[in-house]
Structure 1
């Protein structure tokens, strides 16, 4: 059973300390149940141990709010499929801002987070990763259809590239490229709160020559529906496996998660969901992934 709710900010003003005082006043038997306050999991003998999960609130097609108000998306469907296989655990899913996910994992609020995460050296020191990747990120260069001169990162030298987030994977990719190509530097414009819609509008107006973005991280279909089918994209310029990220306190849960994800990959569920949400089997590229 999956419980889903949305984080609307600091909507719960009752602290763990206040709850404990209330428990003493009402019934001493409640104290034990409140011991899990602020924890990434809680005990429920009837339905299994609850794992608190954070997903991105507005990251279509990975996770997003559907028109009926429910939480939907590629990673949400994977969580639902995993939950059906876990007799000893159940998920309590919370939709949060992107930057709140790792913070919540660090603080112990969440036991698992999703969001198309790559393995990095710093993350592997802090967190646990499943054996099975849940997706494959395809970094592509987007241009206008009439602009056939750009087919790779090499072709971005001397071109106007749309702004990138200073903390994002695109910035890391372009910065890494520049460090190895002193004679073909890419002009990188870094900007907080990058709007992909504005970047694609910039392609149409001629303000930019290219937009670099992971295909799975944004709703390309909506961009085309809004601005017209006037864009093209290159073959992947970088391929990365994507993973759920697990708290180091959840090693026992990780074993069960590994088993469930292995089954979903072998029985074709992940491939089917990839075609449903991305219109292609992204796993066919994983042989060329960096990790």
Structure 2
């Protein structure tokens, strides 16, 4: 009898220890803790901190609404260079990437994307009067004296390379502010980033000696438009989290709430993602 009792108690203890050590899903853990940590790159208008420390941006505010509806009360930001966001997510330094990150097949192999929340094109800024007459990436490629600054890890690097610009004339910088500084100091003759992001930086810099190229020709790669679609990114294992996130995002699209948030950050109806999905963008 004693042996039976001991055996039963041992079994109960083993089950209890296993239950205690078992970690719930990322969403479940966030609901229990009352907060979730998100990675961002301080890139306007997607995700950045205000002077008072408030985390905001289109990607942040969309995620904030969805996460609250999924039971997560608070978002905590983890500032990371854009090029290190994917590695940081994989290393569990944070649980989501809310940085307006473009969905593309290369990134799809490393992270799990939600469906896109916006669609957008590229933009170029130069010194006042556009002294080098740069209206496209090809123009930069064809001008041997022209260098262009771009944020490390940004999708524009691939576009610049495939437009024929050699690596030694693509100057990678850690953030958008550094790109502006490089242009102001004549270390480069142009800077590039997405349209709303560039406009936000120009508005912030308030420098009359820098201007956005009004007639910029959108790049294409291998004959295909490079119009980008940005989305929140999860770890590969968080499929249930992604599905619940997508369901709430779809409701926001249908109600018009998504557009209302986007408009607060300089986007228009033309930048809505339509019916595009992460699966399509990932080539699945």
My pick for the range that moved more, 96-105 or 65-74, is 96-105
Kept in 1, the 8 Å contact 2:127–2:209? The answer is no
Which residues of 2 match residues 39-58 of structure 1 at below 5 A?
40-43=26-29, 52-56=36-40, 58=42
Q: Which residue of structure 2 lines up, in the alignment, with residue 16 of structure 1?
A: none
Q: What is the TM-score with the length of structure 1 in the denominator?
A: 0.69
Q: Distance in 2 between matches of 1:261 and 1:67?
A: 29
Spell out, residue by residue over 1:146-198, the C-alpha distance to the aligned partner (whole angstroms, 9 max, x if none).
Answer: 238433223221151233355432221111122xxxxx879723345361221
TM-superposed CA distance for 1:140, in Å, is 1.2
**Aligned with 1:249: secondary structure?**
coil
Q: 1:200 aligns with which of 175, 183, 204?
A: 183
Aligned residues: 249
Which residues of 2 match residues 248-259 of structure 1 at below 5 A?
248-259=236-247
Kept in 1, the 8 Å contact 2:96–2:235? The answer is yes
TM-superposed CA distance for 1:58, in Å, is 2.1
**Aligned with 2:240: secondary structure?**
helix
Q: Which residue of structure 1 lines up, in the alignment, with residue 156 of structure 2?
A: 170
**Aligned with 2:148: secondary structure?**
coil
Q: 1:277 aligns with which of 255, 265, 270?
A: 265
TM-superposed CA distance for 1:201, in Å, is 0.7
Q: What is the TM-score with the length of structure 2 in the denominator?
A: 0.70
Q: Distance in 1 between matches of 2:228 and 2:253?
A: 17
Q: Distance in 2 between matches of 1:109 and 1:185?
A: 34
Which residues of 2 match residues 1-16 of structure 1 at below 5 A?
none
TM-superposed CA distance for 1:49, in Å, is 7.6
Q: Distance in 2 between matches of 1:249 and 1:80?
A: 21
Kept in 1, the 8 Å contact 2:173–2:179? The answer is no
Q: Which residue of structure 2 lines up, in the alignment, with residue 242 of structure 1?
A: 230
Q: Distance in 1 between matches of 2:34 and 2:93?
A: 12
Kept in 2, the 8 Å contact 1:135–1:282? The answer is no
Q: Which residue of structure 1 lines up, in the alignment, with residue 147 of structure 2?
A: 161
Greater relative contact order (CA < 8 Å, ≥ 6 in sequence) = 2
Q: Distance in 1 between matches of 2:173 and 2:188?
A: 17
**Aligned with 1:198: secondary structure?**
helix
User: Where does the alignment leave 5 or more consecutive residues of structure 1 unmatched?
Assistant: 1-28, 179-183
Q: CA distance change for structure 1 residues 93 and 30 in 2, over 3 Å: closer, same or farther?
A: farther
Kept in 2, the 8 Å contact 1:51–1:110? The answer is no
Kept in 2, the 8 Å contact 1:64–1:71? The answer is yes
Q: Which residue of structure 2 lines up, in the alignment, with residue 209 of structure 1?
A: 189
* 1:138 has 2:121 as partner: yes
Q: Distance in 2 between matches of 1:285 and 1:43?
A: 30
